[in-house]
């Protein structure tokens, strides 16, 4: 894929073992707060989740940027046993709008990912991307509905407000 600047885009999935419990949203939000500005700077997109004490992360971007990120991840003491399961060139990003998303998973998606992690051969990119995109689609729908609801409950702007805004 030729990305915006004409770079070839690669995509990889890795699993690693968390050193501490990341079942708490707090542990994950610390990582995301660090990851997102870096990824926005580097043109990296992707999806991160934690299941049974393991991280699963799909990252996509220019090859050099992915190499840099993997090197930083390998030095990060919050996890160990990092294993890249698949890396490939892609014709389109799977998470183009996300500088790192961590979707809330429902039982079916957790079960899907858990069975991939149980299998020692580890699973391929498409196996992981499927359930993660389903979770993302559901969440986007919920967000859209919440926004629509809150918009329909918002008091109408009075004529005075309108006059002020257009003045």
Ligand X SMILES: Cc1cc2nc3c(=O)[nH]c(=O)nc-3n(C[C@H](O)[C@H](O)[C@H](O)COP(=O)(O)O)c2cc1C
The residues binding ligand X (CB under 6 A) are 31, 34-35, 38-39, 48, 55, 57, 59, 69, 72-73, 76, 78-79, 100
Q: How far is the CB of 66 from ligand X (least distance, A)?
A: 10
Q: How far is the CB of 139 from ligand X (least distance, A)?
A: 19
Q: How far is the CB of 82 from ligand X (least distance, A)?
A: 9
Neighbours of 114 (CB within 10 A): 14
Query: CB–CB of 99/44 below 8 Å?
Result: yes
The Cα angle at residue 57 between residues 54 and 60, in degrees rounded to 5: 170
Q: Given the complex with ligand X, which of 102 and 112 has the nearer CB atom?
A: 102
Q: Given the complex with ligand X, which of 34 and 161 has the nearer CB atom?
A: 34
Q: Given the complex with ligand X, which of 69 and 135 has the nearer CB atom?
A: 69
Q: Given the complex with ligand X, which of 20 and 144 has the nearer CB atom?
A: 20
Q: How far is CA 20 from the centre of its chain?
A: 20
Q: How far is the CB of 35 from ligand X (least distance, A)?
A: 3
Residue 41 exposed, middle or buried by CB count within 10 Å (0-12, 13-18, 19+) = exposed
Query: CB–CB of 63/90 below 8 Å?
Result: no
Q: Given the complex with ligand X, which of 100 and 135 has the nearer CB atom?
A: 100
Q: How far is the CB of 117 from ligand X (least distance, A)?
A: 14
Residue 119 exposed, middle or buried by CB count within 10 Å (0-12, 13-18, 19+) = exposed
């Amino acid at each position: 894929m030729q990305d915006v600047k004409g770079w070839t885009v690669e995509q990889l999935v890795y699993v690693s073992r968390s050193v501490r419990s990341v079942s708490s949203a707090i542990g994950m939000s610390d990582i995301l707060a660090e990851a997102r500005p870096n990824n926005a700077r580097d043109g990296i997109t992707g999806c991160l989740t934690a299941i049974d004490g393991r991280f699963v992360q799909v990252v996509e971007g220019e090859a050099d940027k992915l190499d840099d990120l993997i090197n930083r991840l390998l030095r990060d003491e919050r996890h160990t046993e990092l294993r890249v399961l698949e890396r490939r060139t892609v014709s389109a990003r799977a998470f183009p709008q996300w500088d790192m998303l961590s979707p809330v998973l429902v039982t079916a998606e957790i079960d899907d990912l858990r069975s991939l992690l149980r299998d020692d051969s580890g699973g391929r990119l498409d196996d992981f991307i499927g359930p993660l995109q389903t979770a993302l689609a559901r969440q986007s729908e919920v967000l859209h509905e919440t926004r629509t609801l809150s918009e329909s409950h918002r008091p109408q702007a009075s004529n005075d407000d309108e006059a002020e805004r257009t003045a």
